[in-house]
Amino acid sequence: MLDVQNLCKSIDKKPFFTELTFQVAAGQSLILLGKNGTGKTLLLNTLATLVEPTSGTVHIGGIDAFSNLKQVRPQIGYIPVDFEGYPELSAVDYLNFFAAAYRLEKQERTAAIDATLELMDIQHLRNIRIGSLSTGERQRLLFAKTFLHEPQLWLLDEPLTVLDPLGQIEMIELLGELQTMGKTLVIATNRIEDVHKLCDLESSSSQKDNLIGILKDGQFAVLNTFTQLQKIIKDTNNSEELQSNWLIEHYMEVTKT
């Protein structure tokens, strides 16, 4: 569903990523891991068509994204790490604004908004100003807004970081449901402990084996399925079992200078 070929991006002659090539299928997730400054958010912005690459191509659903912006943007849902703007709007007014922007027919909007509020379990917030919502509540509202136009490609920047433990559990369940629906997910995180949770989405909700991509110096130091990476580590260590900290050790090994 997502096909990226030889993607490069430089800003002020500084390369942030170079020659990135990868594919993510429908119903599959790519988990991007890397320290601050490795270009994870910039890559998400590029996939969202908010930033034009220096070179390379992005195809979404078989369509060249940057040559067909109007056609591909309805297929994209982007959940940034920070919620910005609209503090004076109520949750329902915010959703109504975006429902109109997504060109939902007026008679469809009320039903769509009610459905997304229920899906995200925030019906009780419908008349509350965004500026008064907690961080977790604002993130739920972002998801509700994104569900309105039913995108195929979901781009998520640190979706678990701002949530409390219960919220993280509920978010994992939601992301698993998206995969069950055949959605394609690209998820950026700084936290190794989140990678296990996110890569295990397929174990209960999808037949797809999720991908892990570890970024270093603008390229993938690792790009493989989570299952295959585990097998490689077992074979390398000639062991039947993985140590509990195997991913931390592997991350440190492949990213060291």
Residue ranges for the chain with pLDDT beneath 70: 201-208
pLDDT digits (tens, 9 = 90+) for 213-243: 999 988 999 999 999 999 999 998 888 888 8
Angle between helices 226-237 and 246-255 (to 10 degrees): 90
How far, in Å, CA of 187 to CA of 164, rounded? 18
Instruction: Assess contact for 210 and 199: CB atoms under 8 A.
Output: yes
**What was the pLDDT predicted at 165?**
87
How far, in Å, CA of 32 to CA of 55, rounded? 21
Phi first, then psi, for residue 66 (nearest 5°) are: -80, -10
User: Which tokens is 125 given?
Assistant: 């917030």
DSSP 78: E
**What was the pLDDT predicted at 202?**
52
**Short-list 142, 152, 151, 158, CA closest to 33:** 158
How far, in Å, CA of 75 to CA of 94, rounded? 20
Q: 3-class DSSP state for residue 117?
A: helix
Torsion of CA 1, 34, 172, 143, to 10 degrees: -70
Instruction: Assess contact for 233 and 250: CB atoms under 8 A.
Output: yes
How far, in Å, CA of 43 to CA of 24, rounded? 14
The set of long-range contacts for 121-127, using a CB threshold of 8 Å and a minimum separation of 24, is 122/91, 125/91, 126/90, 126/91, 126/92, 127/90, 127/91, 127/92
How far, in Å, CA of 43 to CA of 119, rounded? 29
pTM for the model: 0.92
**What was the pLDDT predicted at 42?**
94
